[in-house]
Amino acid sequence: MAVFRRIRTPRQAASLPEPAPVAAVTGEADARTPEVKIRAFRIGFVGALGVLLALLLGGIVGQLGTVILYVALALFLALGLDPVVSWLQRRDLPRWLAILLVFVVVIGLFVGLIATLVPIVVEQTKIIIEDWPDIVANVRHGDFVAWLNSLTGTGDAIGEAITAAGDWLADPANLGSLGGGLLAVGAGIAGGFTGAVIVLILTLYFLASLDSMKRYATRFVPASSRGKFREVSNEITGSVGRYVIGQVSLGAINGVLSLIFLSIIGAPAPILLAFIAFLCSLIPLVGTLTAAVIISLVCLAASPVTALTAAIYYLVYMQVEAYVLSPRIMNRAVAVPGALVVIAAVAGGTLGGVLGALVAIPVAASLITIIEKVVFPRQDTI
């Protein structure tokens, strides 16, 4: 059988693609494989520079921790005062005049509290120093200590411990060592006053430029999404402002009621204790309980009956606040489920202390707003 073979012309042979080269297995395989260069020194050097840069930025943030705290607190206060300014604007007042009126009231309250509390603190401190031996003796020989001794069955061990603690606290050197010395105490007071002034000034600037800050932040968002961004940002800032007003309202109610009740039962320094109740009530979840414990212990200086009466009052008040006042006030401010409130407050307090606990709930409300306004609608369109 004849086999016919097609003969190609030179032109046809030139136009055909060249066949793929056949891999040859030779003993020189390393010379034929592609060369891969691993620049270990360059990779290590760039990685070390990245680590050093991260450490440098971390150190800078650590050094600026106090400044960042002041800025965050001032922004938080500005967002809290903005609803009041907006309410005054709706009454046909220009924004600058509304801001001025709000700040005059805030500074007036701040100065009034200091002018009221400082003489009381000085007077009570003087009385405690002069009557300290009698105070320790009254506590040691009181009915409450005798009842504790009868429960423990250790004789007068609790009374002896109270006397030893009173003698230790009566030594000015020991009191100075508690605060790091008089110089450290003075520096702390001066630093706190300076920080308060800085926060007030920053709050004024933030409150005056809050609208321009929102407009500037909107410029970072694509034009097609700016309307939604404005809606979400206004809702977030409004919820933060309502939360601040609600928390201050709860603190004011606790402070006023504490002042009235402590004055009736004859507690020592009722104005100072009422101010402590107000400050502690600003802390969510544990603030009222902390104030109740502190005030009840201070009332022991008057008598065990006064301390027991104060403890019973705060036990009743905490129930009223938890089931009557807080739901009516805070549900209008931030709509956050109860479980998330507890988780947010605990997590914020762990990460940022008192300030973290303060801002944790509005942060949780902001995240819920973002999820409901942005994430869920986007998921529904997919």
pLDDT 10s digits, 313-334: 999 998 888 888 877 776 666 6
Residue 240 reports pLDDT greater than 50: yes
Where residue 79 falls (left for φ over 0; alpha for ψ -120 to 50; beta otherwise) is alpha
Q: Which tokens hold the place of 159?
A: 């009374």
Residue 155 has what DSSP assignment?
T
The pTM assigned to this predicted structure is: 0.67
Question: How far lies 94's CA from each of 162, 172, 245, in Å?
Answer: 61, 55, 22
Q: Which tokens hold the place of 376?
A: 């869920």
Residue 9: enclosing H or E segment and its boundaries?
Answer: none
Question: Is 88 exposed, middle or buried, given 0-12, 13-18 or 19+ CB atoms closer than 10 A?
Answer: middle
Where residue 322 falls (left for φ over 0; alpha for ψ -120 to 50; beta otherwise) is alpha
Domain boundaries, the chain: 65-208
pLDDT of residue 314: 92
pLDDT of residue 174: 59
pLDDT of residue 203: 86
pLDDT cut 90: percent of the chain above it: 3
> Mean pLDDT for the chain?
76
Q: What's the maximum distance between 2 C-alpha atoms anywhere in the chain?
A: 134
Degrees to nearest 5, angle at CA 320 with 317 and 325: 115
Q: How many CB atoms lie within 10 A of CB 110?
A: 12
Average of pLDDT values for 329-348? 70
Q: How far apart are CA 236 and CA 197, in angstroms?
A: 27
Q: How far apart are CA 185 and CA 172, in angstroms?
A: 14
Q: Which amino acid, one-letter code, is at 148? A: L
Q: How far apart are CA 31 and CA 35, in angstroms?
A: 8
